[in-house]
Structure 1
């Protein structure tokens, strides 16, 4: 979409009441499905095209539901269910080609390899700057709170990525020059924000009790761990990067990346002392992984705090009390 001159906008829910969208869905579904559609139905967001992918049972029918309510193209990007297959890269390249064809019709222009390479360069730079942001979080977490870092990250999904790059280039040196005293807080990893996002006030609550040195919030914006090298075939390079140079997620099933082992690696790399394991309410992938995560952390008695959230939560007093108790037990143990 970026290569076609369009604005790729990340739909990651919102703290809105799904008054219109609620009737389009069944019961016992996560909030993000409803709030994304609510933003479009209520006119808060106007789109020319909608692309989703079936990361879970609830999201599987999302594109058809949007398609019943809007006259613009609503497409499903079918990511490989088995990334360990030798054909997965070629398959994903062909999926990208199919979606590219739809985008070209919407944008009324052809997308050249040069266009793709230029966009890849912009996004490579963006991910590099985001990695620097997370380096600061890991090395000097007292310089930036989890909610500040999250806001800096999230804005990139709503504006042209070139503008986000300019913002990060301006802000990151300012963060490093902050004169903020280091406090005696435990270092934690926050796990569970891979899809539906916790309310900002919840992140503030967490940040008041501990230093969050790594997380999986908006992981899609930094899912690729290395630069994409386009060479002769940009789409194939993008597919290869997704298969072989990506992070982990409860909704990707890659035998090379057991999620509990990847969480362990994240904890070690961030020099974390504990883990906050959370999940969105009604999120089957997130809630299921809580079991494997806790079993892995139990092996060496790594402390962890388990909770759940919903986008529209407004009260966090109970969470704050529980979290403070958890932290105090670790500090005074």
Structure 2
């Protein structure tokens, strides 16, 4: 049996891609997208129909030029999500515009808009995760959205403070970024690229997993942003693993045994007092890596959103 099939016995496998062919090939339970993956998808000739559909939709909706661009962007996001859902049994994660990451109210409004678009197409909100950056504002938005049966995936998660705040706010799922944490330590010459043990990105997820399970938090942990299969195998047993097609291919091509690395604890602890906003901001600020990578991730996703809007502006 190949390593991918063995890994599926320990963790739910999620495809980190908007490529339908890859999704069909590796048969994941769920799929995740982000602004970078959406931009890649619409740059492929075979996906030009999604741009055409989005432009037509935006023109029909009317409004200002800016309104049309926003509506077309949202339509592409949802239409690609619908196409992916035809090929998986579980969830699609669709990400809110990163530029809204510091407004709870705007994130809530955007989430409702995206869910409405899915439901107008006959897709239940129970198959959609609204993806938000793990800022304080977005964590609070996710907490409110749960009251309307809208589940969220809190992404760009780098610090333990972010993980704690998400669990304490009853967020549905978090995506701690293994590879980007690893990248930071390499860039600071604190870790060699040839390192093969449990690197800081892996250890971050291990710490979150142990903490969540010991305190019986229901928030799902989906490790993300892998750089190599060693990182993935070190986290076998994590609730979910979202993996790029390149690494899914590697896992499928290798045979050999895999042992579960993350296991449920034998003891349960009472939940601590929830972090206040000022405590969260201070604790997160103490982690230089997390501060840098969160802001960098939001900027980059915002830039990719702008690139998508430039493509759409030429057609509207």
Q: Same fold by TM-score, threshold 0.5 exceeded?
A: no
Give TM-score, length-normalised by structure 2.
0.32
Give TM-score, length-normalised by structure 1.
0.31
The structure with more radius of gyration: 1
Q: Which has the higher contact order (CA 8 A, sep 6+)?
A: 2
